[in-house]
Structure 1
């Protein structure tokens, strides 16, 4: 079975990224959301013409103020890539950028705005120089787009490949992005619509890897005592008719010690799946509120003569006592006002 997009379509996709990193004495958690409008304009035997528009890129949560600053800078530079018109092959590799001139023009506009800040932020000058070199080279722009979260999530593993398959010795960075690792990748199919992936290091990690990957923490932790467990797992749901991706869930984990790890989860959803998630989240919230209210309502709220009463039990007890009292004194009906006028703490049936 070969997974490929078979026909033109338009879809809105949402990607939610949850990250949890402990770097010895620094703990950072983030939740980021990105949304795109993705259109497959044309399908040929060997390629796809596509349009990709970034609708939203927002940092939803973080426990670290510095991450907010980095996110703001990242959003400024993502502007250059928020409109893309491309030709890609069946594996998702970019072969042509049709709106290259628009991307370069956006950089020139952004650069003018950044130059106004150079006087107050000298570091910006170096950022401008790096990006000047990038946006002057079409191949570098292509590489930057290819590294976009949309392409790495949507196309990296299953499209344009004969499934199931195993690939060995893939060279990619670890999840701290601090050293290269050789990986073995296994892609298995449950059926024509559900695909599983698992990726693990090909060999036991060497001392050279540990020194390079975690050398920056050498003054805070004994690197020789680290034992890293590293793994990536994923699940892809594909629509069999069109070949479009309906949902993908990917988990990456690298744990060298209890205080040195990074865990990242990606949840990539079509609009239908996203709305389903929101509905389930709303329903779960409603159920949690209801459970709390039920818990509160069943808590012991009063104790009289050594006996404990829940809220409902006490209200029922009071009503029965009032009915007995009303009958004794020839009072008709249940009157809240009359009940409130009674002395508190009395057992009315004994009055």
Structure 2
């Protein structure tokens, strides 16, 4: 059968309820094995149910967190293939939740309360989806930028097979044991990490560092802008540029960055600091540190952001007068630039990737 747009794809059989999925997760990914509760809690069960409801398996029909949070008991009770495909089409459409509600109305029932509030998508993503991914149960489309709202999560096919209703008793135990043996070992977890690493995508961005070496960044506009900052701005503006730190979504401090920060006696508070990039000018007559934020959507160096970075730098014994601040944009006409320019801190700079030979400075004048 097809959805209302004429699209069709295979759909797996479902277990009776979310609770049944949680019970099965407690057999496959219990806290005693994974070290966290997020792999077998209600949110994890909701995620797995929703993925199977729409057929999100092995990189086909990927979901996003809202596909889970907009689900409801009433929707979940409609299990015919046509309705399951129609829910997926609605949930990933531009109309989003409105399209889901319209689908329910057109199908003759009230959606009722959604499983999670709209502001719950971050916990679903940052806790349960993240934990399932780290334990090999979820695959991530690596060609979708981490900042994109596009759907990118599917179930690993071997893991999805463990949810088959006909798999019971000793046969289920044997299948779980076999899957755990290949996915929950150190090498299995490493395989899962590599499969979900955006930097391994064909669309990843390679940056050539000043002085030699490269860094591979996640696909997306932010990485393209940062490539220009490192390869063009830093070479033109700094005398002896040295990239000390690059931050990427979902990544802890890179080992190479960690070493560079350690060499300079700098400690980064990942929860509070994490600028997009830190570049030092190692020329003896300069000794500047540039704090750089890349703005593809939001996050410029405002007065507060500048003050926070200054407090950190001075606490690390780096003089305030040797701190420079840069916000990088795609262009002056980009919507992110139009929104952010009025917020820029005094004494900071702006650079635009499409005008790499120019620098906008917001300086104070001594009046009177």
Higher Rg of the two aligned structures: 1
TM tier relative to shorter chain: under 0.3
Higher-strand-fraction structure: 1
What is the TM-score when the length of structure 2 is the normalising length?
0.23
Name the TM-score, length of structure 1 as normaliser. 0.24
Structure with the largest fraction of helix: 2
Question: Structure with the greater relative contact order (CA < 8 A, sep ≥ 6): 1 or 2?
Answer: 1
